[in-house]
Amino acid sequence: MLQIDGWITLGLFFATILLFLTEWLEVDLVALGLVLGLMITGILTTEEALAGFSSPIVITIAALFIVGGAVMETGLADSISGRIIKYAGNSRFRLLILIMGTVALLSGFISDTGTVAVMAPAIISISRKTKINPSKLLIPLSFGSLLGGAMTLIGTPPNIVVSDLLAVNGFEPFQFFDFTPIGLILLAVGIIYMTLTSQWLLPDHKSSKTLQRVDTPQELLEVYKLPEDLYRLRIRQGSPLAGKTILESDLGNNFNINVLDIIRAEQTRARMRIGDFRLIPEEEKEEQLTSHYALQPNDILICQGKLNDISHASATLRLGVQPAQAEDHKSLVNDEVGLAEVLLPPRSRILGKNLVSSRFGSLYQLTVLGINRPGIESSLPLKDTALQFGDTLFVQGPWKNIRALADQRRDFVVVGQPEDLKGTPPRSKMIAAGLILMAMILSLITGWLPLATTSLLAAFLMIITNCLNMKQAYNSVDWKSVILIAGMLPMTTALQKVGLVQTGAEWIASTLGGLGPIPVLGSLFLATSLFTQVISNTATTVLIAPVALSLALNLGYQPQAFLMTVALAASTAYATPVASSVNTLVMGAGNYRFKDYARIGVPLIFISMVITILLLPLLWPLN
């Protein structure tokens, strides 16, 4: 019979799951609320409730984010993926094998989200050249990254969580390559499954204009046909704009026009980076004013907008309309300013907001020229559209601001990565990052230093060798994931403290224990996989792994196979586009629907389950 503390903990547990499922609150905020709830109710002491923030698991994962960020920033990941993919040729089967093999190799050592973000533009470029629709290639890319993350200790947070749980309970923790044998088998089976069934189970959606990712800003200009939307507006004598700044003119809010450049009457160009003025609320305009450049008669404004809006502004404000000239495209793309497509990932902080309420223009000093959504051919209204995950923002502005946006990986993924955006990192940085990465892996293999120490040292070396600076290091950490893990770990302590873990394990043992280990492992796999389709794989592991450990001990088995089952099942986020950020990243570019993931993903989950529960007892004997 549960005591009052048990019922309170159970209530907090189900409230947390409900909030995860409904997404009424951000997942990291839910985790913090859970910590507060455990402290306020007295289930845990303050020290116990806050212990997650000093946990070696949390420190390790944060450090590994920095290591992965350095691998990305130096171009090492891009170089590796590019070199391997170029050997694919025009064979669809060879292409699938190389795509999944390459992304799996990279995801075993660095963030799967970062890996997919780096490789997706190359895959889409290949799809154009081979005439294979991206929808036939991008789900294999996403699934390959998930399979690869399960192959090494540091490939995905659930692997680290179960290894630490073993160590805390007096068992030998998993070593770096302990996951590799079963991980390689699952990867091989996944590749075979994908190549054999992709013709029928993968959709063959044609990409709309908005999904045709491009390699250069010049190609972006062609795809979006922006030169057709460029005009010159000359300020005539007596125009009400004379003497006003661009912000004061309110051309954006009143006429839906973006001013990209100004040419002074005496032909001295005053280039201005003034953000998306029409999307800045009135009360913020003075604060966000970046130029007090007063307009004068005969000044020429290089503008982007629809012809009807241009004509309306011309008639109302006494402006002369002139066609754009050949050199005016330099107002969009040159050494100082450029263009990029920006994809919104599933937990971006601006989802549900429009560009005005998110203060996009004022915060990031970039002009949004278009909003595109999968399945919708035309660009959405800029001012009033509530942003959704999978939306693509077409932005224009200084390269330095686009680079800064690319660093905000939690909120934005800059797609296409034109060379102008990132520049070419010095080769010495790429070599340094490669050497540090190999040294980290060698240390983990030999056990020279503990995992947390090794990952922190690698992150430290990446920074002091200038593979990335401190700002980039902070931006490379997915702080939402870090706080989520730190906040969920105390729930494990609470569940154990009030006896719920033991009660659950005893119930499963009494219900299924008599059937043997295979049904028990299968039940653990299915429960974990089901949860991971709708909530974080790390949160799922934190909640289910203690039950798996207690269950194994109750049944008299060694716990390694049980915990590895949970970790592997947590990586089977195949059935929905929101199960993993990598699924969401490819959703727009592949023009996928929810059902597309389930159709190809659900069979793979069951195949993975059968392989896992049959082979793990052989690789990790239960007795």
Identify whether 226 is part of a domain.
Answer: yes
- Are residues 376 and 319 part of one domain? no
Identify whether 343 is part of a domain.
Answer: yes
pLDDT of residue 284 exceeding 50, the answer is no
Identify whether 519 is part of a domain.
Answer: no
Flag the least confident range among 119-128, 141-150, 151-160, 532-541. 119-128
- Are residues 245 and 318 part of one domain? yes
Residue in 254, 209, 418, 263 with CA at minimum distance from that of residue 334: 418
- Are residues 278 and 225 part of one domain? yes
- Are residues 272 and 252 part of one domain? yes
CA 222 to CA 219: how far, in whole Å? 5
Identify whether 84 is part of a domain.
Answer: no
Per-residue pLDDT tens digits for 388-419: 877 888 888 887 788 778 767 668 877 655 54
- Are residues 309 and 232 part of one domain? yes
Other beta carbons within 10 Å of 47? 9
Helices (H), 150-281: 157-168, 180-201, 217-224, 246-249, 251-255
The residue among 287, 305, 331 that closes a domain is 331
CA 503 to CA 508: how far, in whole Å? 9
- Tell me if 484 sits within 8 A of 27, measured CB to CB: yes
Identify whether 232 is part of a domain.
Answer: yes
Identify whether 548 is part of a domain.
Answer: no
Number of domains in the chain: 2
Q: Is 221 exposed, middle or buried (0-12, 13-18, 19+ CB in 10 A)?
A: middle
SS (H, E, C) 436-470: HHHHHHHHHHHCCCCHHHHHHHHHHHHHHCCCCCH
- Are residues 324 and 347 part of one domain? no
The residue among 266, 299, 331 that closes a domain is 331
Other beta carbons within 10 Å of 297? 15
CA 445 to CA 437: how far, in whole Å? 12
Residue in 611, 520, 622, 623 with CA at minimum distance from that of residue 181: 611
Per-residue pLDDT tens digits for 331-367: 667 667 777 888 787 667 888 888 888 888 778 888 8
CA 47 to CA 584: how far, in whole Å? 37
Per-residue pLDDT tens digits for 561-609: 999 999 999 999 898 776 777 887 677 677 788 788 889 999 999 999 9
CA dist list (Å): 76 to 80, 287, 298, 445: 6, 40, 50, 22
- Residue owning tokens 């039940």: 523
CA 158 to CA 386: how far, in whole Å? 34
43 beta partners = none
Tokens of 533: 């389709």
What is the tally of helices (H) and strands (E) in the chain?
28, 10
Tokens of 296: 């004068």
The residue with greater pLDDT, 179 or 408, is 179
Which amino acid, 411? D
CA dist list (Å): 243 to 181, 236, 620: 72, 12, 78
CA 37 to CA 46: how far, in whole Å? 11
**pLDDT at site 246:** 76
- Are residues 231 and 296 part of one domain? yes
The residue among 402, 422, 442 that closes a domain is 422
Buried b or exposed e, range 546-573, using 16+ CB within 10 angstroms:
bbbbbbbbbbebebbbbbbbbbbbbbbb
* 3-state class (DSSP) for residue 395: strand
Identify whether 378 is part of a domain.
Answer: yes
Q: Which domain holds residue 322?
A: 217-331
CA 603 to CA 598: how far, in whole Å? 8
Per-residue pLDDT tens digits for 431-488: 998 899 889 888 888 888 888 898 899 999 999 999 988 888 887 887 877 887 888 8
* 3-state class (DSSP) for residue 343: strand
Q: Is the dihedral of CA 356, 358, 359, 360 positive or negative?
A: negative
- Are residues 290 and 221 part of one domain? yes
What's 238's domain CATH number?
Answer: 3.30.70.1450
- Residue owning tokens 């007892």: 617
- Tell me if 593 sits within 8 A of 530, measured CB to CB: no
- Are residues 371 and 315 part of one domain? no
CA 540 to CA 546: how far, in whole Å? 11
**pLDDT at site 81:** 67
Which residues of 268-385 form beta strands (DSSP E)? 269-270, 300-304, 319-323, 337-343, 367-373, 376-380
The residues near 460 (Cβ < 8 Å, ≥ 6 apart) are none
Identify whether 497 is part of a domain.
Answer: no
SS (H, E, C) 2-26: CCHHHHHHHHHHHHHHHHHHHCCCC
Q: Backbone phi, then psi, for 343, in 5-degree steps?
A: -95, 140
- Are residues 260 and 319 part of one domain? yes
- Are residues 384 and 325 part of one domain? no
| Pairing relationship of beta strands 258-263 and 269-270 according to DSSP bridges | antiparallel
DSSP state of 231: E
Tokens of 378: 């035309």
- Are residues 226 and 319 part of one domain? yes
Per-residue pLDDT tens digits for 476-500: 887 877 887 888 888 878 887 887 7
